[in-house]
A and B are shown apart, each in its own frame.
Chain A
Amino acid sequence: MNWKTFYALLARDGHVARRNLLPMLLQNLLQPLLLTFVFGRVLTTSGMMHPEYKSILLPGVMAISMVLSGVQAVAMPLITEFQFTREIEDRLLAPMAIGWLAVEKIAAGMVQALVAGLVVIPAAWLTMGSGVQLSFQPLEFAVVCVLVAMFSSAGGLVLGCTIGQTQIGLMFSLVIAPMMMFGCAYYPWASLAAFPVLQWAVLINPLVYASEGLRGTLTRAPHINTMIVMGALVLINCLLLVAGLKKFHQKAVS
Chain B
Amino acid sequence: MGIGIRIENLRKVYDTPPPSAARGGGFSFVAQKTAGPKEKKKKFEVVAIDGITLEMRAGEVFGLLGPNGAGKSTTIGVLTTRTRPTGGRAFIGEYDVWQEQVKAKRLIGVVPQRPNLDFALTAREILLFHGAYFGQSARERERRSDDLLEQFHLKDRADDMVRNFSGGMMQRISIARAMMHDPEVLFLDEPSAGLDPQTRLMLWEIVRSYNKLGKTIVLTTHYMDEADALCDRLAIIDHGRIISQGTPTELKASIPGGYILRLRFNQVPEALPAELRKLPGVTEVRPAANSSLDVYADRGGPLIAPIVNAAQALDAELHDVHIAEPSLETLFLHHTGRSLRD
**Which of B26, B105, B112 sits near A94, CB closer than 8 Å?**
B105
Chain A residues within an 8 Å CB radius of B24: 84
Residue interface mask B7-35, A partner, CB < 8 A = 1: 00000001000110011101111000000
B134 and A16 contact, CB distance less than 8 A:
no
Judge whether A50 is part of the interface by a CB distance below 8 angstroms: no
Contact A95 B134 (CB under 8 A): yes
Contact count band on B = 35 or more
Contact B83 A253 (CB under 8 A): yes
Provide the bound-state CA to CA distance between A93 and B108, in Å. Answer: 9
- Give the Cβ gap from B121 to chain A, nearest Cβ, in Å: 7
Q: Is B130 an interface residue (CB 8 A)?
A: yes
Distance in Å: Cβ of B175 to nearest Cβ of chain A: 13
Report yes or no: B77 in contact with A254, Cβ–Cβ below 8 A.
yes
Residues of A within 8 A of B105 (CB): 93-95
Interface-facing stretch out of A108-116, A159-167, A235-243: A159-167
Q: Are B125 and A254 in contact (CB-based, < 8 A)?
A: no
- Kindly state the separation between the CA atoms of A5 and B24 in the bound complex, as whole angstroms: 31
Binding site for B on A (CB under 8 A): 2, 4-5, 8-9, 11-12, 15-16, 19, 77, 83-98, 163-164, 166-167, 253-254
Say how far A5's CB is from chain B's closest CB, in angstroms: 5
- Are A2 and B102 within 8 A (Cβ)? yes
Cβ-defined contact, B84 with A254, below 8 A: yes
A11 touches B132 (CB 8 A): yes
Are the CB atoms of B28 and A164 closer together than 8 Å? yes
Residues of A within 8 A of B19 (CB): 86, 254
> Is B210's beta carbon under 8 Å from chain A?
no
Which residues of A are found within 8 Å of B134, using beta-carbon distances? 5, 94-95
A230 to chain B, nearest CB (A): 35
Contacts of A253 in B (CB 8 A): 82-84
Measured between C-beta atoms, what is the minimum distance from B75 to chain A in Å?
A: 13
Q: With an 8 A cutoff between CB atoms, is B239 at the interface?
A: no
**Alpha-carbon gap, A225 to B101, bound state (A):** 46
Docked Cα-Cα span, A9 to B121, in Å, equals 13
Q: Is B133 part of the contact surface with A, judged by Cβ < 8 Å?
A: yes
